[in-house]
Structure formats: structure tokens, C-alpha cells
Amino acid sequence: MMHKSKVILGAGITGSICQLFNPESLMITKSIGSSFPFGPNFVHKTPENETLMDKLNMSKDSRMINVGYFYNGKTVSENDLTPEILREYYEKSRAFEVKKGRLSRSFIALIPSFSGIISKIESYVRGNRIYAEVVGINTEEGELTLEYDGQLANVKYDNLISTIPLIDFLKMSDVDSMNYEGLQYTSMTVVLLETSNIVANSLCGFDYAYILDKECPCLRMTKHGGRLILEFSGELSDEDASLAVVETLGDVSFHLCGVQRRKYGKLKTIEKLPEIEGVRFVGRFGKWNDELLLQDVVKEWLDV
């Protein structure tokens, strides 16, 4: 049986940063990052993220990211985001009532993308990874059960860093999850469009924009090169996704480049993480906290 001092679960941007700061660790993941753009993934210009760029020898050039808000077909300002409007948006996007919430405001971002950062880190730590699915976590024995190529294998660990969704960790582990039964996902459908001039006309110069009212099925639109990303609640078929695009943008010409369904959006937050000897939860999914951003992950390791 393989035995590693430190193991990381998950290989998104959070897991990749964890391995950058723990190069001796073993990462276990089904795949690295994501080839499909799920929405606005910008790197905020902060001291922590600039330190990350220095560590990776990547550009610290930056630009303003303009965030917009649409309500009843019109743009509204940040000052117009009343509690009632925010509640309407969160009820639409997450299917539950939120008495207070936070939407992104315009900000300065560094030029490098999430995918670029993940690729750069991968070139630094290549070889310290196992591509497999974790199907069991025995925290009492410090042991993981993996499945790959139809075979099961076990890996012992001394320290485990989990960046996977907390709800998935609990389902696979021997941890008493009675206090976390309310944790669950909502579903989302993400559509990638190839368009001619829809991007400029639809977003009014914004890099991405929230669609706040319930009458429009779209939650958020994002520029992605010459393409447009639209996000919708629920798991839509390709046909229903196309209809939702037309309902959002009107009778315009577009090519549907891709549709993906994902589980996202947390229906319950938690006040306290499980305390498990040898296990550390990191990032917004690992800690089940939407407030956490990339710089928070970097800061956590800089402070170690």
C-alpha cells in the first residue's frame, strides 16, 4: 500500500495552489482543472495574488473588470441593488430565500487566467499526481480508497488537504455528518455561444453582468473572447438551453458551442467545519464558503 505524508484531494485552482505551496505532496484527482469555461474566473489584483504571480514568474499586468447589473431589461447601478432586488436574484439563482447577499462589483484583475495558472503549476509539479476517483475516506485510519481502470487501491496519508466540495467529502468519509445534513447543491446549466456581435450589444460594455429579475431565465452573462457564456438554473437539455438563450437574447443568430450541467450553489452555509485530526479543508468548496476568493487560498499558505 502506498503511504504519503501529505495528500491533496482535487485539482482545480485551489488544489493546484495547495500543491504549489506543498510540492512534496501527492495530488489525487480525476482530471486537472476544467476545459469548459463556467463563468467569470478573474484573478483579483491583491498583494497575495501578485505574490503568486511572482512565484510562478507570470505577468502582473492588470485591467479593470466591469461588472454590470440588469433588472427588467435595463442597466442598474450598484446603488440600486436594494435588498428586495438581491433577494429576487438569489431566489431565482439558488431556489431559496437569502435575506442578504453579495454580488461582485467592478474590480481590477491581473491578466493571467485560472487555466493559465493551473497549467503553469502543473509544469512545476508534474509527476506528483494520481488520476483516480476517491470512493472512500477513512479518517480514523488515515486511508483513502481509490478507483481507476476498474480496480480499487488504497493510499495511506499522514495529512490530508481537501479542496473538493465538503458535501462530497462527508458522503465518502466515516465522519458523523448528522450536523451537515442540510448541505446540498443546486443545479446549473452553462451555455457557450459563438456569436457575431451579440457580446457587445448584450453586455453594454461590461465584462460580465448579472440578470437580476425573475422574468429572464439567465442568471449571468460573461464575455469569453469572441464568445458569450450564459448561466441558467437547473439541468436543461440542449433544446431547452437553446430556448432559454432565445428568451434571454431575443431572435438573434448564434451557434451553440457547448452545454454543460454542473452542481453549484450552496443551499446552506455552515458555522463550523468538522474538526478531524490530520485533515485540512481549503477553499470555497472545501470550506463550503462562497465568500472565499483565490487570494484567500494564497494567503492561507503564505501565513503557514
Q: Which segments of the chain belong to CATH 3.30.9?
A: 67-105+185-266
C-alpha cell, 49: 495574488
User: Which residues lie closer than 8 Å to 217 by C-beta, 6 or more apart?
Assistant: 232, 233, 244, 247, 248
Architecture of domain 67-105+185-266: 2-Layer Sandwich (3.30)
Q: Which CATH class is domain 2-60+112-178+270-302?
A: alpha beta
Q: Coil, strand or helix: which one is 84?
A: helix
Separation CA 120–CA 243 (nearest Å): 38
Separation CA 259–CA 250 (nearest Å): 19
Tens-digit pLDDT string for the chain (304 aa) = 899 999 999 999 999 999 999 999 999 998 876 655 667 789 999 999 999 999 999 999 999 999 999 999 899 998 888 888 988 888 887 654 444 456 888 999 999 989 899 999 988 887 789 999 999 999 999 999 999 888 999 999 999 999 999 989 999 999 877 667 667 777 889 999 887 666 656 788 899 999 999 899 999 999 887 788 999 988 999 999 999 999 998 877 888 888 988 876 565 667 788 899 999 999 988 998 888 899 999 999 998 7
Q: Which segments of the chain belong to CATH 3.50.50.60?
A: 2-60+112-178+270-302
| pTM across the whole model | 0.88
Question: Which of 125, 123, 159, 186 lies closest to 9, judged by CA?
Answer: 159
